[in-house]
Amino acid sequence: MRLRLAAFVLLLAACGASSSPAPATSAAPAPVQQGPVCDPDNGGLVLPAGFCALRLGDSLGPVRHLAIAPNGDLFVARSGQTGGLALMRDTSGDGRIDVVRQIYPGGGTGVLLTGDAVYYAPNDRVIRFPWRVGSFEPAGPADTLILDLPTTGHGAKTLAMGRDGQLYVNIGSWTNSCQVQNRQAQSPGVQPCTELEGRAGIWRFDPTKTRQTLADGQRFATGLRNAEAIAIEPVTGTLYAAVHGRDQLTQNWGFPEEEGAENPAEEFGPITQGADYGWPYCYYDPRNKVKVISPEYGGDGKQVGDCDDKHQPAIAFPAHWAPISTSFYTGSRFPSEYRGGAFIAFHGSWNRGTTPEAQQGFRVVFAPFRDGRPTGTWDTFARPAGAHNSVRPTGLAVGPDGSLYIGADREQRIWRVFYRP
């Protein structure tokens, strides 16, 4: 018995010797996969500490709004005669777009993705394509949901799908301020402004019906000169918009140059059913924090009148920054203070002054939310590294991995922003 026990102990010792770990130098741990590598210069963007950006590609066309599928496919609306709806994909895993597939040739701005369909808005209509995630082609023929939409003036149409299952469409104004002679000095405003009957507001449509016209929709809210930057807030389901304010207070009405450069604010806030936001009769003065009567309707920059009864903004951004898109951060990769807040892309404008240096905008800002409501503060999140107007942001979308995508039409470019502290 003792001999068998001794033999067993020796056998255990031998096994232990033969299974001891190999030296560390002969089996280094596998590297942690970090995903695509950011550009050393962040692709020409300046970002907060801990963030970096990868330029996904150049010459992608005049990029407007973006939508991202669960597999990372990008659906990109592109404006102009060379535009149209395109699917863009990275097939190599390096983060760069290497496949661009045209889906629809007509230029537009709005694009929206649901579980089984892609919605696209050329300026005069809204189209729905049945889609299966991962496919390069629609799953069937496209349906025209809405047609014969107006295209003059602010012709871009943008889209949001509400929790009520209804499709919300921005229809911008034809004119700057509903003058008898558009953008002409001292021309009075049309009274009442008949444009409001079919423009300068947000309409709601049934996405299950085809070949609807404006008359088939419901005007959800009015007095919004051009609410291109619309999105649904994810906690409350409320529709939010950032709105282009009017131009030419100095050029048409002799306001001091500084007064015209700083007025009116670009308004951001919730859009309430049946609400009137004031255009063209009123505009918001961000310095005095009040809506005042437009000069086309007898105002002198100080009179409030019944403009105080119009809906007021939650945030007043600087004048003439031209908001193009809004995207709420629904990911979990960015720090906690970003979760649930709104990114807003500003395209910049010509009406802040007579020199390029006087113009502003040209950035993406972040507005934090708490419990589904804006706190009222904001900060610049992304801006050009070069000249102040060297990037004109347009589209925003949050990817399935929590990264942020930023498009720019003039630069024909898309960036992907990561958080890597």
Per-residue pLDDT of the chain in tens (421 residues, 90 and over written 9): 433 334 333 333 333 333 333 333 333 333 334 568 999 999 999 999 999 999 999 999 999 999 999 999 999 999 998 899 999 999 998 999 999 999 999 999 999 999 999 999 999 999 999 999 999 999 999 999 999 999 999 999 999 999 999 999 999 999 999 999 999 999 999 999 999 999 999 999 999 999 999 999 999 999 999 999 999 999 999 999 999 999 999 999 999 999 999 999 999 999 999 999 999 999 999 999 999 999 999 999 999 999 999 999 999 999 999 999 999 999 999 999 999 999 999 999 888 877 777 889 999 999 999 999 999 999 999 999 988 899 999 999 999 999 999 999 999 999 999 999 8
With contact defined as beta carbons under 8 Å apart, do 172 and 155 qualify? yes
Q: How many CB atoms are closer than 10 A to CB 199?
A: 26
Note whether residue 2 is domain-resident.
Answer: no
Note whether residue 1 is domain-resident.
Answer: no
Instruction: Give the structural domain span for 237.
Output: 43-419
Note whether residue 29 is domain-resident.
Answer: no
Note whether residue 348 is domain-resident.
Answer: yes
* Amino acid of residue 324: I
Note whether residue 355 is domain-resident.
Answer: yes
CATH number, domain of 248, equals: 2.120.10.30
Q: How many CB atoms are closer than 10 A to CB 248?
A: 17
Note whether residue 146 is domain-resident.
Answer: yes
Note whether residue 376 is domain-resident.
Answer: yes
Q: How many CB atoms are closer than 10 A to CB 121?
A: 28
Secondary structure (3-state) at 311: coil
User: Structurally, how many domains does the chain consist of?
Assistant: 1
Residue 162: CB partners within 8 Å, gap ≥ 6?
168, 204, 232, 237, 239
Cα dist. 161→104, 168, 207, 230, 396 in Å?
Answer: 21, 6, 9, 10, 16
Q: Strand 404-408 vs strand 413-419: parallel, antiparallel, or unpaired?
A: antiparallel
| Euclidean distance between CA atoms 9 and 6, whole angstroms | 5
Its pTM stands at: 0.91
Q: Which residue has the tokens 């706190």?
A: 375
For the chain, the residue count is 421
Q: Which residue has the tokens 């908001």?
A: 323
Q: What local confidence, expressed as pLDDT, does residue 29 receive?
A: 37
Note whether residue 30 is domain-resident.
Answer: no
